[in-house]
Amino acid sequence: MPKTEHDSSTFQQVTKPGFISIDYVIKAMVCLLTASAIVLVATIHYFFEILDNRAAKEVGERVSLAFNIEKKYKKSQLIEYSYWDETYNNVFSEKDEQWIEWNSGQYVLDNFDYDFSLALRHGYEVISLTTSEQAQNLKAQMLLDSDLVTMVSLSRAREDVTKVVSSFMLLGNDLYFVVGAPLINEELETPRLGTYLAFGKKISPAYLESLSNEYQIKGLTYNTSIIAGQHHLKIRSLKGEILGGLSWKIKNSSQELLPAVGLIITSFFLSIIVASWSLLTREQRDKEAYLNKLYMEATRDALTDAFNRKYFLDIASLELRNSRIQNRFYTLAILDIDHFKQVNDKYGHIIGDQALVFFSNLCQSELRKTDIFGRVGGEEFAIAFTNTSEDEAQQILERIRTKVMTSSLQLENDTLQFTVSSGVATLTKQTSLRELLRQADNALYEAKDSGRNKVCCYQFDLANAVEC
C-alpha cells in the first residue's frame, strides 16, 4: 500500500477523540476470553454429559448382557441333566437319594453354583429338594406357592424340544433366578410327562459382587424398590410383576474432570484451541482414510483390484440407462481366461491367483478411463464400454487378447502363458443389463466353442454370435 503524508494538526484532531486506553483493551480482551472460556467450558460440559450418557447406556447394556450370558449358561446346564436318562431313572423312577445327592442335588449346588435343586412330579409333588447354606430357609411349599407352577405350565406350552423356561422369582424376601424344564427322553427326544427339574440361584450381594468383578460393573446391587435417580434394570416375574430392580454406579466424568478442565482452559486457553484444532484435523483425516478404505472394500475385488461383481453390475446398469436416455453407444464384453482350471490343477491356487492379478493388470493397461472393468466370476471379467461402438470395443478387446497371448507370467522355475476369449454385445433394443449380459455370454460361448483365443460379437438381428 503506498504511503501517504498526513497534516499533523488534522492527524491529531482525528486520532485524539478516538483514543482507546490500554485498560479498556485489556478489559475487553479479558471479557472476551472469559466469555469464550465460559462458552467452551459449557460446551465441554455438554459433551461430557453426552459421554456420561453413553457410558451409562453402555453399562446398562453390559448388565443386560451379563444376565443374558448367565441365563444361557444355566439353561445349558439344566438341559444336560434333562437329557440324561439316568436322571429320570434315579430321581423319578427309583428315587435314589444317594444318587440324587451325588449327581443332581448337592453336586449341582457345589459344582455349578446353584442354591437349590428341585425335582417335581406332575407340577406339584416334590420328589427332592436340595438347598445350599444360603437358602436354608427355602421350603418346598414356598416354591409351590411361587411362580414355579406358572413356569411348569409355560414349559408345557412351549413348542421347542427342551421346553426350558427361566425367570426371576421372589421367594420369601430373597430374589432367585430359576431355570426349569421337563426331562427329555434321550432316544425319542420327547418330554417325559409329569417330570420337572428346576435349578435356582439366589441373587445375593456376593453373587452380584462376582458379576461386578467379572463384567466390570461398579456397585451392582438389588433393591426391592426402584430408587429414583439411579441407573436401574427392572426385574419382572413370569406374570410381569415388578420384583424390584438392579442398580449400579456410573462414573460421572463431568463432575470429576470439569473443574480441572475449567482451570486448564483458563490458564492455557489458546494452547487448548490449537491442540483441539490439531486433534480434530487428525480425526477428520483418519475418518476420511477409513471411509475411503470402506469404499474400496465395498467396491473392489480384493485380489485383482477390479470392481467387484455387485458394484460392476450397479454402475454398468446406471450407464446403460444413461446411454438409452442420451441415445449413445453402449457395448458390453465378457472375458474368460482359457483353460484356467488347468492352471489351478497344474500350479495350484496360489499361482492361479497370481495369474488372475497378472491378467487384470494387462486388461487395465489397455483400457481407457471411461471403461468400466470388473471381476464377475472366478476367472471371468466384464467390461462396460460407454459411448463406444461395437467396432471400437472390438479393437480394444483385440489389443487385450494379443497382449495376453504374447505376455508371460514369470514363475520361480517356469513361465506361465495363457489366452483369453471374449464375447461382445452392443446396445440396440435390449431393455436390461441382464439381457445384454446374456447376449455377451452367448458370444463368449461361441468364442469358446469355435477354438478359444478370439473375440466374438452377438448379432442382435440374427440372434446368434459370430467372430468379430
Return the SS3 of 443: helix
Q: Please, which residues bridge with residue 287 across strands?
A: none
Contact 393, 430 (CB under 8 A): no
HSE at residue 100, side-chain half, CA atoms within 13 A, is: 20
Query: How many angstroms separate the CA atoms of 236 and 245, rounded?
Result: 9
Residue 254 φ/ψ, nearest 5 degrees = -65, -40
Number of other residues whose CB lies within 10 A of the CB of residue 376: 20
- Separation of alpha carbons 336 and 27, rounded Å: 78
Cα–Cα distance measured from residue 262 to residue 268, given in angstroms and rounded to the nearest whole number? 10
Q: Take residue 451 and report the three cell numbers written for it.
A: 477354438
Cβ-based neighbours of 82, under 8 Å, separated by 6 or more? 162, 164, 181, 182, 183, 184, 197
The one catalytic residue in 70, 319, 366, 379 is 379
Say whether 435 is catalytic.
Answer: no
Q: Three-class SS of residue 84?
A: coil
CB atoms within 10 A of CB 268: 12
Give the largest Cα separation in the chain, rounded: 123
DSSP H or E stretch at residue 224: none
CA of residue 75 relative to chain centroid, distance: 26
C-alpha cell at 254: 463431568
Task: Report the sign of the C-alpha dihedral through residues 15, 20, 22, 26, in that order.
Answer: negative
Residues 78, 197 contacting (CB under 8 angstroms): yes
Cell 430408587 locates to 227
- Tell me which residues are annotated as active site: 379
